[in-house]
Structures are given as structure tokens and as C-alpha cells.
Amino acid sequence: MAQKPLQNYIPALTGVRALAAYLVFISHYAYAFDENFPHAVQRFLNEFHIGVTIFFVLSGFLIAFRYFDNFKLTGNWFRQYLKNRVARIYPMYFLLTAGAFIAYYFTHDQKVTNGFGSPTGLFLMNVTFVRGFFDQLKFTGIAQGWSLTVEECFYFSAPFIFYFAKKYNKFWLQWAVITLFGVLLVLLFRNVNWYGFFGNFTFMFLYTFLGRCFEFFAGIKLGMIVKKRQAQIDGQAKTWYTYLGFLMIFICAGIMSVLSIPKGEVAGLHHPMGIFTNNYLLAASIALFFYGLLTEGTILKKILSNNFVQLLGKSSYIFYLIHLGYMYNFLLHYFNKWNDDIFELYDKWGKDWNSPFQYDNLNVLYAFIILNGVAILLFKLVEEPLNHYIRQSDFLIKNSRRNPENKSEAIKA
């Protein structure tokens, strides 16, 4: 019996989004585990930034899977394509970035501006994604939002990557050219004092599309392979791609965790071997893991396809944007306040009890749960309605109900 081709909705890959966001969360709060575990464990958890690479490979796959066979370099197609990308990424990013600068107005948290002279100008650089090209400004606003500059560069590039791949059959050559162009920019600008605009090779390879394009190309290649073979894919094959790829992902994190950390940096990722492991070995491992999720019936696939996990995956974009920064700082402020209030109460009672807010690891867990709840609420009440509104509006291009691009999609790349 002929197998059905894969549908646009792949539940397990929606669940993967939650996994990726939570790995990044762990990497940012690994310090909370240092007191009760060997330092090697903290070093390992500190390399869970691998969630960002999972996002990049996933984006490459989804865009290729949806568009590689039907893209057109025409004005209307490109406008519709950009409209969908804006609907998916921009509304929540803009609102939450505005929130970061409003919070800065009251708190004067220097992490938001990193000493940049004009908060208004920096806000404009953030909401236009331009800040991601500058080493000194990449963590301003919503710090983790630097990755969206990388994503947007890919979104703009993808149709042209598809065009040259089809017309000239030089798929991997494009990756080499893009990377070499990044190297050239560093050679040109590394001695120019312009807020670190392509100021060094570490920045270029870790924080720009030019340096990290291989991760997207790995996802694109996976999409091309899956589209070619999807008639034979039934999701029940008994092979070991899923677990082998999953294991290799954490082996890559382990490799980075034992590398020496360069001076002024925070992770083995910044070591030259760390960059190679993250950008290339890890990307290939993730692609293998995804291929397994698409072709095999495993317990892990069932877990990632669970309805609640899918909800966490759909709200993971918001969770990613709020897990670090002013919302977490707000929670931490109240955890500390409540901790002080509880101990004052204990003193009045003459009790020597523990406070539920005196342990860093428990506070991190509380914040994780609360921020997930906030993310789900914002997804249901703000992100999803705005997404649908923009897709059904005449923004950039007049809406046509006959255009399948305007239909509700479970996988939003």
C-alpha cells in the first residue's frame, strides 16, 4: 500500500520547539545547580544553548519543506511570503521589546542599553533587527533576541538559496560563499570602531547568519531529502536515527563543556573547537534527530506529539523571549521580597524554619513554571489572534481566501 505523504502539520516538531526553548533556559540558569552538583555538571548544562541551533535547523527544514517546490521570485509571492514571516515573528517581538525599554525607563538596567547613548535610537535598532549586526549591541533590549536577526536574514535569503540550488545545482557551494563573505566582512571591519560591526570572527561565527548559515543549510537539505522520499515515510520505521541523533546532540554539548573557556567568555562554545562543534557537528546531529522523528515511531516522538507538549511548543517562542530579562527580574525581585518577609515573620514567631524562596534552584523552578503560564496566556490572547489577523489582512498584499498561505497552519516556520 502506498504511504501518505507527510502533511504540513508535524506534531513532534512542534513539541521540539519546547525542548529547544527549555534547553536555552537551562543554559542561562545553570548557576543554580552549582552548589549541589559537581562543577562539571554546571559546565555541561551551561552548553545547553544548543537549543538555539535546534531552532535554526528546524527553521531551515520547515521553510524548505513548505516552500522549496513552490517558491516564485515574483513580487506577489515574495510579499505573501514576507507577510507570513512578519505575522509569525514580529508582533510579539515588537511588544516585548517595547516592554523591555519601558522597564528600562523605570529601572535604568544597563543590560538593556549596554551604555548606548540613545535609548530611542537603540529601540529602533532593536525593532528593526539591526542591532544583531553589532557585537557590542547584540544583547541589548531582549538579549536573546539576537537570534531573531539571524532568523530574519535566513528568511530573506531562503528564496534565493532555493533559486540557485535549483538553477545551478550548487547547494553547498552557497554555504561556503556566504561564510566566506562573513570572513571578508570581519577582515574589512575588525579594526573599525563601530560598536563591533562584524568586529571579530567569534562574533561572526556565533551571532550572525553569515557564520551560522550551515545550520539552516542542514535543515534545508533535510527538507529536500524528506520531500524526495516522503512517499516511503510512514513514521513507523524501526531504526535508530531518533535516539542516535538525540544522543549525538548531547555528546556535542559534552564536547563543548570540556573545552577551555576563552578569557572574557562564558562557555566552551566560544573556543574555536566549540564553534566548529556547535555550528557543524551539532547541526548534523540535529538533522539526524529530526529525520528520525519524521520516519520512526518512538516513545520520544509520542511524548513530543502530546497535545500539552504541543501547546508548550506553540507558546515556546514567547517563553524564549521572556525567560531572560525584565520579566524574570520582576519575578526574582518578588521572590527576594517574599523571602525577607517570611523570615521576618519567622523571627516574630521565634521559629528557625526554611523559606520556600531561599534556594536559587527552587526560585528558578518557580520562574520556569510561571513564565510558561505567562507564555501560554500571551500565545492564546495576543500572539495567535495577531498572527491570524495579519495573515487575513491586506498587509503587504491583498488577502485572497483561495491562497493556501492564508490558512491556519499548525507548523509556523
The answer to whether the CB of 101 falls within 8 A of the CB of 141 is yes
Local confidence band at 39 (pLDDT 50, 70, 90 cut-offs): confident
Flag whether 2 is in a domain: no
Q: Which residue has the higher pLDDT, 191 or 406?
A: 191
Flag whether 411 is in a domain: no
By percentage, how much of the chain surpasses pLDDT 90? 81
> Average pLDDT for residues 264-282, to the nearest whole number?
96
* Residue 38: predicted pLDDT: 86
Distance separating alpha carbons of residues 148 and 335, to the nearest angstrom: 30
* Residue 231: predicted pLDDT: 54
Distance separating alpha carbons of residues 106 and 21, to the nearest angstrom: 28
pLDDT reading at 204 higher than 70: yes
How many domains does the chain contain in total?
1
> Average pLDDT for residues 314-330, to the nearest whole number?
97
The residues, any chain, with a CB within 8 Å of residue 47's CB and separated by 6 or more, are 27, 253, 254, 256, 257, 267, 268, 269
**pLDDT tens digits along 222-257:** 999 998 887 556 556 668 999 999 999 999 999 999
Distance separating alpha carbons of residues 287 and 303, to the nearest angstrom: 19
* Residue 205: predicted pLDDT: 98
Show the domain range for 306.
Answer: 11-324+359-406
Q: Which residue has the higher pLDDT, 38 or 173?
A: 173
Local confidence band at 32 (pLDDT 50, 70, 90 cut-offs): confident
Flag whether 63 is in a domain: yes
pTM metric for this prediction: 0.93
Flag whether 354 is in a domain: no
Local confidence band at 31 (pLDDT 50, 70, 90 cut-offs): confident
Local confidence band at 81 (pLDDT 50, 70, 90 cut-offs): very high
Flag whether 35 is in a domain: yes
Distance separating alpha carbons of residues 412 and 235, to the nearest angstrom: 21
> Average pLDDT for residues 59-64, to the nearest whole number?
97
Flag whether 346 is in a domain: no
The answer to whether the CB of 204 falls within 8 A of the CB of 210 is yes
Local confidence band at 402 (pLDDT 50, 70, 90 cut-offs): very low
* Residue 29: predicted pLDDT: 94
pLDDT reading at 20 higher than 60: yes
Distance separating alpha carbons of residues 408 and 375, to the nearest angstrom: 20
Q: How many C-beta atoms lie closer than 10 Å to residue 331's C-beta?
A: 16
Report in angstroms the alpha-carbon separations of 91 from 97, 139, 263, 346, 386: 10, 20, 38, 46, 7
Flag whether 289 is in a domain: yes
Report in angstroms the alpha-carbon separations of 201 from 176, 208, 276: 15, 10, 12
Instruction: Dig out the grid coordinates for 198 from the structure.
Output: 562584524
* Residue 100: predicted pLDDT: 97
Flag whether 336 is in a domain: no
Distance separating alpha carbons of residues 267 and 408, to the nearest angstrom: 40
Q: Tell me, what DSSP letter sits at residue 6? A: P
